[in-house]
Amino acid sequence: MKSTILVIEDNEKNAYLVTFILEKCGYRIVHARDGKTGIAMASQIKPDLILLDIQLPAMDGYTVAHELKKDGELSVIPIVAVTSYAMLGDRERILAAGCVGYIEKPINPTTFVAEIEQYLPAGKKGDGIRRGY
């Protein structure tokens, strides 16, 4: 069964790259461009994992993570921040907001899949095929 990953990312180039890499490895990707839409989509599709940008328009990623964790059904979905926030204390603040992981941008295409797979539930990883990017 293919895992579904919700990518909440407002930058089209970043969303394209993440989608391209993950689809090549057998994942189903759903994309939201802002936090409010991302929360609504998470409620609707119940993804296996959420990849969350922190710098989003209108509602930042911290707020999105808090809102997702307040919802009983959605609180069990792992959230991984994929962000350019890399200053001292940013990682801790992101984890305190409810994210279980943190990946710095720019992502490394050769290690990205392995980085996110550690947060997927057992049996929900991709097809195992690693293609060159």
Lowest mean pLDDT: which of 12-16, 56-60, 80-84, 118-122?
118-122
Q: Is-contact 24 109, C-beta < 8 A?
A: no
Q: Is-contact 8 56, C-beta < 8 A?
A: yes
Q: Give residue 133's pLDDT.
A: 44
pTM of the model as a whole: 0.92
Write out pLDDT tens, residues 66-113: 999 999 999 999 999 999 977 778 889 999 999 999 999 999 999 999
Residue 123 lies in a domain: no
Residue 45 lies in a domain: yes
Q: Name the domain count of the chain.
A: 1
Give Dmax over CA atoms of the chain in angstroms: 39
User: What is the share, in percent, of the chain residues with pLDDT greater than 70?
Assistant: 93
Instruction: Give the pLDDT mean for 40-69.
Output: 97
Domain of 89, CATH number, reads: 3.40.50.2300
pLDDT band at 124 (very low <50, low <70, confident <90, very high): confident
